[in-house]
Structure 1
Amino acid sequence: MPPARRDDCPWCGSEHLRTRLATDGFTLDECHDCAHSFQNPATEGPYERRPGRRRLLATARVMLPFPEPESWLDVGTGDGAFPAAAKEVFPYTSFDGVDPTGRVERARAADRVEEAYAGDLTNPHLMAHLRARYDVVSVLHHLPHTPNPREHLRAALTALRPGGHLLLELPDPEGTFAQLFGRWWHPRTRPRHLVPLDNIRAELDTQSCTIVTTTRPRLAPTYRIIARRQAA
């Protein structure tokens, strides 16, 4: 049975929606109150994103100014391409991965991650197991492909130790790429959600996090945030 349309915003719950984009393949609605955009109804199918090694290394290097982490969890790790690259930058860090698919088991078999967790990070049992275990949690282009990105963001923060750092990358709904080329997103990379930067900032603030850096190149399709969870 195909997913049904929803009448409220998955981020703030408002029922004030408008159609932002409609094509033959999908419809993107936008919330009038918080500007969150989302596929309505959500399209189904696998998500594949295969950034090059150079891009992955560059992402890992943004954490070099901070204390070297002992433990790092990559959320939505897939086959572990990012941890494999990040190990070249942080050779003494222990990398674990969580993914809703069985690809994470292949990542462990290939020694790309030490511990592999197949499932939804918002699962209460998994959250309890991973609570406050990691110095760094990375969520790279995974939130937009989850059913509830706000809930998944909170789950990622749960895995952070006090004083730990969250590394986020998301497609920028206000960027040039989304404005001009959104209708031509490939189905396997098309995000279910486009979360405005201000919404992420506000949520991190309510979750006792301090935003350390925000990177938002004008012509880039993404934005990046590094936030620190307040120490106990």
Structure 2
Amino acid sequence: MITGEKLISGCRLCGADTAGEPITDGLLRRCPSCQFVWTASDLPPPEQLYDSAYYETDGYQDYFTSARQRRYESIRRLRWLRSRVRPATLLEAGSAGGYFLRAARDAGIDARGVEVSDAAASFAREQLRVPVRTLRFEDHEQPVPVDVVCAFHVLEHVTDPWRFLAAARAALPPGGWLALEVPNIASAAAHRLGSAWPAIAPEYHRWHFTPASLARLLTDCGFDVVARDTTFSRFYWQAPARLRNVRNLLFADFAASRSLRVTHPGLGDLLRVFARRSGDGRTVDSLQARPRPSQRSIHERKHP
């Protein structure tokens, strides 16, 4: 539900004095200096957006009943994570219905989650029997540092990515790992499909990252980027989904990249990053206090 439009009086990534140039039929704005992209319309707080309807019809098609697909995605993400690090403890930010946590715990990892949606967190606890707290990750205080913080398709949703990453940093020891996956606005599919690219999702996604802008954000927030790549959505599709999407995303991917590989240095529509908490002595409070441009409404646009 879009409740209004906002004008950012400066880029929140580089601090440039700009309202951003409209792109993708005016749905998004892009900083002309650093190319950071944000959604033009204001959004309700996450607690209101991610109710049971989001998981059943609005954001997903029957998320809670598509267990086979969710398990498949989770196993692939866990395999990717363990290709770089073998954690004993793990904290997932935005753990949704808990499928990744279930896969991690089944692999012997002490995995726990934080989820803002009460509907999703309740499902994780009651149906999958995994430990999930219901609150914003930014408000979570981790009593003992964990080896890895994971966030899969979460950073684009949060109100304040800087505060979110400060919380992730606080949950890690120096050298601890952060594993992220977000949509890639610089992908082949995004360029080809424009406003029809499904991952724009302006009703839910506030921020839109490229490999360069995400790396800059992580560096600003006290992380060292160790590895990054992109993958195409079909990496997570089972056979029925591949057939359903062959005319849109699959064609767009191949037409721009001329490759049937599932990974690519920059053209895949999913951006994946491994980063480590730097040991430069910066405190969480100093990272949270970093000045950023303000937002001001240019007009209200109410929708039922």
Q: Same fold (TM over 0.5)?
A: yes
Greater share of strand: 1
Residue 132 of structure 1 and its aligned partner are, at CA, apart by 5.5
Greater relative contact order (Cα < 8 A, sep 6+):
2
Q: Distance in 2 between matches of 1:167 and 1:87?
A: 17
Name 1:170's counterpart in structure 2. Answer: 182
Q: Distance in 1 between matches of 2:96 and 2:76?
A: 19
CA distance 1:230–1:219, shift in 2 (3 Å) = closer
Identical positions, percent: 23
Q: Distance in 2 between matches of 1:223 and 1:201?
A: 11
CA distance 1:150–1:35, shift in 2 (3 Å) = farther
Q: Does 1:106 align with 2:123?
A: yes
Aligned positions, number: 222
Deviation per CA, 1:7-66: give whole Å up to 9, x if none: 33343443321001226xxx2111112211111113454454556432321111122245
Alignment of 1:63-82 (within 5 A): 63-82=81-100
Aligned 8 A contact 1:75 1:97 in 2: yes
Residue 156 of structure 1 and its aligned partner are, at CA, apart by 1.8
CA distance 1:39–1:209, shift in 2 (3 Å) = closer
Greater share of helix: 2
For residue 137 of structure 2, the aligned residue among 101, 109, 121 is 121
Q: Distance in 2 between matches of 1:189 and 1:53?
A: 26
**TM-score, L = length of structure 2:** 0.64
Q: Report the more deviating stretch, 140-149 or 152-161.
A: 152-161
Alignment of 1:1-232 (within 5 A): 2-8=3-9, 9-16=11-18, 17-22=20-25, 27-44=27-44, 45-46=49-50, 48=59, 52-88=70-106, 91-102=107-118, 103-114=120-131, 116-123=132-139, 126=140, 129-130=141-142, 133-184=145-196, 185=198, 187=201, 191-216=205-230, 217=264, 218-230=266-278
CA distance 1:132–1:203, shift in 2 (3 Å) = farther
Residue 199 of structure 1 and its aligned partner are, at CA, apart by 2.2
Q: Distance in 2 between matches of 1:162 and 1:97?
A: 21
Aligned 8 A contact 1:11 1:36 in 2: yes
CA distance 1:62–1:31, shift in 2 (3 Å) = same
Amino acid at match of 2:94: G
Residue 201 of structure 1 and its aligned partner are, at CA, apart by 1.5
Q: Distance in 2 between matches of 1:68 and 1:18?
A: 43
Q: The residue matched to 2:217 in structure 1 has which SS? A: helix
Amino acid at match of 2:21: R
**TM-score, L = length of structure 1:** 0.82
Residue 169 of structure 1 and its aligned partner are, at CA, apart by 0.5
Q: Distance in 1 between matches of 2:203 and 2:130?
A: 24
Unpaired segments ≥5 residues, structure 1: none
Q: Distance in 1 between matches of 2:39 and 2:170?
A: 27
Q: Report the more deviating stretch, 186-195 or 150-159.
A: 186-195
Q: Distance in 2 between matches of 1:12 and 1:120?
A: 26
Aligned 8 A contact 1:39 1:193 in 2: yes
Structure showing greater Rg:
2
- Let me know the Cα RMSD of the aligned residues: 2.7
Aligned 8 A contact 1:11 1:148 in 2: no
Unpaired segments ≥5 residues, structure 2: 64-68, 231-263, 282-304
Q: Distance in 2 between matches of 1:148 and 1:182?
A: 25
Amino acid at match of 1:193: W
CA distance 1:188–1:206, shift in 2 (3 Å) = closer
Residue 111 of structure 1 and its aligned partner are, at CA, apart by 4.0
